[in-house]
Chain A
Amino acid sequence: GAVVSQHPSRVICKSGTSVKIECRSLDFQATTMFWYRQFPKQSLMLMATSNEGSKATYEQGVEKDKFLINHASLTLSTLTVTSAHPEDSSFYICSAPPRTEYGYTFGSGTRLTVV
């Protein structure tokens, strides 16, 4: 299959610190990774698209300097929430495009709580 491993699953951090979230494609190469944010009881909102070997593409309204995205290799994409604040608390999910027409493979998500 196509498995995306996302870590950590939960993280609690202090306001002002930075948190890194990793997504790894375990059995395939992903040149692209989508990063979503989900607020409680709401749908997923696309934040940005990471591209291996080039800069990430951010959706309108997403702060590039706060949400740093790096696609270091064909199997690893990272999202770093810099200088986190309580309003950044959310559920973050990565997704790799399908290798076939079947479906998009999602990571298991990261629950970020900033205190």
Chain B
Amino acid sequence: GDSVTQMEGPVTLSEEAFLTINCTYTATGYPSLFWYVQYPGEGLQLLLKATKADDKGSNKGFEATYRKETTSFHLEKGSVQVSDSAVYFCALSGSTNAGKSTFGDGTTLTVKP
């Protein structure tokens, strides 16, 4: 079945540091890939997405590129802020899973001033 493997956390960075959170996936067909962010006590918010190979999703300074050859969708940001502290989930929805989403385990990011 489909699966998503995320870099283990927690990740602690200083403000303005570079961020990378690794994500790899296994899926049949051609899935769409997503990054969601969850702030404390809240639900998930879509951060960015990519629907086909070589697509780059971007939002709020975050970027991720759909790499079919390495089955990866790594999240990056050049300069993190304290307000980026949250839990980040990589997810996929495939053409063969009836619209369900498969999530990675989440990576907790803490940014210190």
Which A residues are closer than 8 A to B by beta carbons?
Answer: 6, 32, 34, 41-44, 46, 49, 93, 95, 97, 101-109, 111
Contacts and interface: CB of A to CB of B under 8 A. Distances in A.
A49 B99 CA distance: 10
Given A97-B99, A104-B34, 4 more contacts: A34-B99, A43-B106, A103-B49, A104-B101
Contacts of A42: 105-106
Q: Which of A43, A95, A97, A105 has the most CB of B within 10 A?
A: A43
Nearest to B32: A101
B43 A109 contact: yes
Interface of B: 32, 34, 36, 41-46, 49, 51, 89, 93, 98-101, 103-106, 108
Nearest 7 pairs between A and B by C-beta?
A103-B46, A109-B43, A108-B43, A97-B99, A106-B44, A43-B105, A43-B103
A106 B89 contact: no
A109 B103 contact: no
B42 A109 contact: yes
A108 B42 contact: yes
Given A43-B89, A43-B103, A93 B49 contact: no
Contacts of B89: 43-44
A32 B46 contact: no
B46 A44 contact: no
Most buried by B among A42, A102, A104: A104
Contact of A44 (B41, B51, B103): B103
A46 B102 CA distance: 8
A104 B93 contact: yes
14 contacts: A42-B105, A43-B89, A43-B104, A44-B44, A44-B103, A46-B100, A49-B100, A93-B43, A104-B93, A105-B46, A106-B45, A107-B43, A108-B42, A109-B43
A93 B43 CA distance: 7
B101 A34 contact: yes
